[in-house]
């Protein structure tokens, strides 16, 4: 059977390939340490799980939920935005609940893109930005994230004829995969560009709460005019270690939120209400769990840095995210190096090319195993390769 062209032209999903390589190594008896996929190993805080268990027994939650989410959950999101960023949102019209932010990021392209339109996409970047646009029949225009510019998008690189055909601009800070951060001045430039060309900004803020050394990431919606031109995607996945729960939201411009809600009402039946009540407990409950989570990741980051520097690396410490983005040693492509590290050291790293052409020359590690295993991973790599940088 011949599948539709929209599927036939898609590359294999990056993380599916990584999982396959891990399984192949394990079948050979290798004790694999995976620094590949950004899936937190820390458990969901207990008080959140307890609410899920209680609400799962409530028969009222066994029926179809609404596609746009419980108003009480959206109100909790609005309350969180006010407390965290000083941003006031109307839970009725400016927030829509998502089955994880990935779902909304993928679906927003179907709301606004069609043949002949462009999506402006960071490169390297989360693959779903470009995949959603491709599935919607649009073209992707990739914007390089260069290290010498702090991995910030340079919107001056967008040709005017492309900008006039662009309908969506995807941005993501703190950034996956680079770990880069953005300040309000950058967001002000994004708003100005979006106004000039009537482009919708889609900010993926999934990592805003995983920050180190006292740094606090701003919200795109804090900037004047941001709500006129765009929305912000967020998720409970990384902040509260709820990746498998699939709960997130989009917030911002009410017309865009309405469009996304309309699409969702025709495609899905929303998030299980018991999970939404657990989400309320996460957002409104004690937040010490976030501080503990940050401390764990910062300690892991520092262990990874120590291991890298023992091999000659002198890169910059990331201020945020659960990732480190590292230049590949001279003489290797990112894929070659990743395969050799797995073969010789039993350690999984992610080749940068998987995040776009401008990801070549880098690899990503995820700080999603305990610090002892991270230390062991870099000891293995050092024993296998010696000094690399």
Confidence category of residue 10, pLDDT binned at 50, 70, 90: confident
Confidence category of residue 271, pLDDT binned at 50, 70, 90: very high
pLDDT digits (tens, 9 = 90+) for 92-120: 999 999 999 999 999 999 999 999 999 99
Alpha helices in the chain (DSSP H): 5-8, 14-27, 46-56, 71-85, 101-112, 128-135, 160-165, 184-197, 226-229, 254-267, 273-284, 288-309, 334-345, 371-385
pLDDT confidence of residue 8: 78
Domains detected in the chain = 5-43+288-385 (3.90.1150.10), 62-284 (3.40.640.10)
Contact 276, 65 (CB under 8 A): yes
**Bridge pairing between strands 347-348 and 139-144:** unpaired
Q: Tell me how far apart the alpha carbons of residues 192 and 246 are, in angstroms, rounded to a whole number.
A: 33
Contact 72, 209 (CB under 8 A): no
Q: Which of 137, 125, 129 is nearest to 108 (CA)?
A: 129
**Bridge pairing between strands 230-235 and 323-327:** unpaired
Q: Measuring CA to CA, how many Å separate 86 from each of 193, 221, 355?
A: 24, 10, 33
Q: Tell me how far apart the alpha carbons of residues 111 and 118 are, in angstroms, rounded to a whole number.
A: 13
pLDDT digits (tens, 9 = 90+) for 168-192: 999 999 999 999 999 999 999 999 9
């Amino acid at each position: 059977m011949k599948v539709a062209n929209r599927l036939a032209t898609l590359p294999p999903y990056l993380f599916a390939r990584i999982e396959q390589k891990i399984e192949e190594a394990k079948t050979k008896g290798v004790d694999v340490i995976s620094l590949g996929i950004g899936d937190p190993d820390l458990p969901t805080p207990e008080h959140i799980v307890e609410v899920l268990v209680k609400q799962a027994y409530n028969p009222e939650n066994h029926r179809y939920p609404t596609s746009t989410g419980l108003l009480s959950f959206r109100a909790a999101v609005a309350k969180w935005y006010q407390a965290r960023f000083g941003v006031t949102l109307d839970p009725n019209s400016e927030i829509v609940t998502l089955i994880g932010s990935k779902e909304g990021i993928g679906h927003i392209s179907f709301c606004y893109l069609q043949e002949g339109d462009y999506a402006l996409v960071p490169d390297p970047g989360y693959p779903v930005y470009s995949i959603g646009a491709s599935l919607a029949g649009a073209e992707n225009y990739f914007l390089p994230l260069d290290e010498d510019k702090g991995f910030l998008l340079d919107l001056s690189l967008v040709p005017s004829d492309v900008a006039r055909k662009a309908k969506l601009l995807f941005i993501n800070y703190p950034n996956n995969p680079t770990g880069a951060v953005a300040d309000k001045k950058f967001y002000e430039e994004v708003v100005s560009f979006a106004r000039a060309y009537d482009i919708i900004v889609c900010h993926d803020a999934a990592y805003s709460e995983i920050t180190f050394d006292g740094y606090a990431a701003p919200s795109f919606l804090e900037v004047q005019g941001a709500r006129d031109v765009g929305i912000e995607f967020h998720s409970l996945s990384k902040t509260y270690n709820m990746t498998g729960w699939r709960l997130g939201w989009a917030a911002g411009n009410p017309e865009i939120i309405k469009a996304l809600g309309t699409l969702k009402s025709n495609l899905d039946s929303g998030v299980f209400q018991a999970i939404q009540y657990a989400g309320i407990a996460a957002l409104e409950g004690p937040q010490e769990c976030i501080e503990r989570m940050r401390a764990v990741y910062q300690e892991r980051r520092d262990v990874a840095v120590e291991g890298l520097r023992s091999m000659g690396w002198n890169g910059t410490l990331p201020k945020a995210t659960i990732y480190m983005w590292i230049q590949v040693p001279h003489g290797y492509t990112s894929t070659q190096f990743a395969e050799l590290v797995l073969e010789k050291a039993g350690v999984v790293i992610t080749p940068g090319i998987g995040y776009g052409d401008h990801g070549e020359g880098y690899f990503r590690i995820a700080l999603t195993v305990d610090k002892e295993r991270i230390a062991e991973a870099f000891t293995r790599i050092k024993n296998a390769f010696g000094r690399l940088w």
